[in-house]
Structure 1
Amino acid sequence: MEFTVGSAVRYGWETFKKRPWFFVGSSVVIFVAYMIVGGITSGIDSVLGATPEEPSLIGGLVNFALSTLIGMGVVAFYLAAHDNPETVELSALWHPQPFWKFLAASILVGLAVGIGFVLLIVPGLIAAVLFMFTTFIVIDRGLGPIEAMKESMRIGSGYRWTLLGLIAVLMLIVIAGLLALFVGVLVAMPVSTLAFVHAYRVLSRRAGAAPVAPDARLAA
């Protein structure tokens, strides 16, 4: 299967149309989860006498840990939704392992992209493209952070410009969703993420990587 920006976006849209209300509902659940985390953090800061301008260290750590768990669930959910769109359930959003690998990978990728943008915009864009699949590889195949970063570079080799174009188009989809108020985001989020996962799956197959997740919870 040839990979193009159009084919990825088309897959995301066609998959969304199979169960539109389910995917909209999943977006609501994810947003509510992040709101709850924000509420918990605010509660901790309030008890400790912190302010939004000067948040507490404990509140920040709790927020970071819980947000990481949500992020892991989102990745696992959309991997399962891509592979089994007709049968995936909301329970796929609970996927707390491998927490430390995912956390380390997120930090390393964030540092690489952040430093790249601080130095110059172009290095930041390059890092974003090189490592864009890292956290998905950690959840999908259980690799460590460094190995996942290397694998992300490998499977994207030869498609850098196409992947950069995909990132740009997906950002435009999300922006369009924001302009259409909250309801638009509920559609834009699953469409864009499913398109992203499709790119990952197609390029993994072309690079010779295992197309099926070894974690049975993703294939359920």
Structure 2
Amino acid sequence: MSDIYKAPEAQLTTGEESGSYGSLEKGLAGDYAINIGEILSEAWRRTKGNKGTIWLALLLYFVAYMAISFVAGIITGYSAFDLEQQANASAGSALLYSLLVNIVVAPMMAGMLMIGIKIARDEKTSATEIFSYFDKLLPIVVAYILMTILIMIGFVLLVLPGIYLAVAYMLVLPLIVDKGLGPWQALETSRKAITKHWFPFFGFLIVAILLYIAGALPLLIGLIWVLPLLTIAYGVIYRTIFGGAED
């Protein structure tokens, strides 16, 4: 793989119509623009014909999560579905339960993100994409653990560093499965690229939270549109910064 830290060779022209995507080099150089309105507008257009795929993937994710949680509960003696059992369980059991669930769920989360990314790049995808990245289990889990520890340390250090890192690490998982980066390399690539335009990213997350709340208020009905919209919007952002898959 080429040196991801070399200077960019060309200016990035963003936009769905131009077909020009970002790259690792351009992303690290901050050679991209984040326009929340344009991102949501494109994502909304792309929900047409793709909502079913995303919702089927979410359903598969939920069923798998429930099954994983059930098995982890049997192994650890801690259940997320039994309040009495939770009250009697040790802290060690609760920690082991959380670790087991998150280890198995992390590759599925990466798959969910890749569905949005592939839709944004006009690539073929399906709901079963969420099960496609268990071969990357080790780097995903290592990155997840490192990211969690660093964000927790950041929140302990006056909160603001934790908020900074929580936003800066939002592109870590696809960098591992899409670009083939190692855990620390993915963490640093995401952080350095997002730091160039950190406040627009923070603004997007605020807007995403507000859209989620608005969609959930009318008996959750609005989430039928909001969740596919936000999934694809994430993909549009990733594509704008880092472009297509590595050859």
Higher Rg: 2
State the match for 1:208 in structure 2: none
- SS across alignment from 1:51: helix
**TM-score for both structures, normalised by structure 1:** 0.81
State the match for 2:129 in structure 1: 92
**TM-score for both structures, normalised by structure 2:** 0.73
**In 1, are the aligned partners of 2:57 and 2:128 still within 8 Å (CA)?**
no
State the match for 1:16 in structure 2: 47
Count of aligned positions: 207
Provide closer, same or farther for how the CA distance between residues 121 and 91 of structure 1 changes in structure 2, counting only shifts above 3 A: same
- SS across alignment from 2:176: helix
Deviation at 1:31, TM superposition (A): 2.1
**In 2, are the aligned partners of 1:12 and 1:195 still within 8 Å (CA)?**
yes
Provide closer, same or farther for how the CA distance between residues 109 and 199 of structure 1 changes in structure 2, counting only shifts above 3 A: same
> Which of the residues 215, 232, 238 maps onto 1:177?
215
RMSD across aligned C-alpha pairs, in angstroms?
2.6
In the alignment, structure 2 segments of 5+ residues that lack a partner are 1-13, 15-32
Percent of counterpart pairs with the same letter?
A: 24
Provide closer, same or farther for how the CA distance between residues 115 and 184 of structure 1 changes in structure 2, counting only shifts above 3 A: farther
Q: Which has the higher helix share?
A: 1
State the match for 2:246 in structure 1: 214
Provide closer, same or farther for how the CA distance between residues 18 and 65 of structure 1 changes in structure 2, counting only shifts above 3 A: same
Provide closer, same or farther for how the CA distance between residues 35 and 184 of structure 1 changes in structure 2, counting only shifts above 3 A: farther
**Which segment drifts farther, 1-10 or 180-189?**
180-189
Deviation at 1:154, TM superposition (A): 3.0
Deviation at 1:202, TM superposition (A): 0.7
Provide closer, same or farther for how the CA distance between residues 82 and 4 of structure 1 changes in structure 2, counting only shifts above 3 A: same
**In 2, are the aligned partners of 1:82 and 1:197 still within 8 Å (CA)?**
yes
> Partner amino acid for 2:240?
V
Deviation at 1:14, TM superposition (A): 1.6
**In 1, are the aligned partners of 2:72 and 2:97 still within 8 Å (CA)?**
yes
In the alignment, structure 1 segments of 5+ residues that lack a partner are 205-210, 216-220
